[in-house]
Amino acid sequence: MADSVQELIERLHREANQDRAPEETPDIGIVMGSDSDLEVMMTGGRRPGAYDALVTELGFEEQTDFENPPESRFTFETYVTSAHRTPELMTAYAETAADRGIDVIIAGAGGKSADLPNMTASIAYPLPVIGVPVQEKSVDSVIGMPVGAPIVAVDAGKSFNAALSAVQILARQHDDLHDRLCAYHERLKSEVGTVSTELHDRGTIEFSRE
């Protein structure tokens, strides 16, 4: 096993043994099969992604140091844990997630054999896992879990929705997150109202010129 992988596995187990307060640990874990998935998983490429949902819309911060959490009460972390290239790392992450304070995992993978979300869900059970097919051809693989081994999944590339779903799960225990989700939805409704008014009042041709 590569030294870098072994070091990460040991780090995860050390963190799992620390028994830190929930306020000091990441609430959401985001894992992906390759750093080539990062654009879809985090910024969404042509559409907003999980990072935009969590940071811009809902006030989360990314936690990059387990020992020194950011000031924000709600945080997330990000790792690459390939199911095919580093199955030991994927297993260690899923096995230690709950003990490290993670309440929900977002797992994304691409290709026809997008096994990371499914395997992560199987190992981390009963921790909820939300799968993100990075590409259209990944959908069948991600949603193809057998009865009794559940995974929740979003449509291809829609990591933004995966992040919203993760926060919906957390909001059942945190009123502050419930309020943030409601405020975000109100902003969406307001934007629709503004656009509808401008389209009607300015007319289709002039509105379309912008």
pLDDT tens digits along 117-159: 999 999 999 999 999 999 999 999 998 888 888 899 999 999 9
Structure tokens at 123: 């190992």
Averaged confidence pLDDT in the chain:
94
Helix count and strand count (H, E) for the chain: 9, 6
**Which architecture, in CATH terms, is 3-173?**
3-Layer(aba) Sandwich (3.40)
Listed by start position, the domains of the chain span 3-173, 174-210
Structure tokens at 51: 């990072």
Listed residue (108, 113, 147, 148) closest to 129, CA to CA: 108
What distance in Å separates the CA atoms of residue 74 and residue 52, rounded to the nearest whole number?
15
Full-model pTM: 0.94
C-beta of residue 46 within 8 angstroms of C-beta of residue 37: no
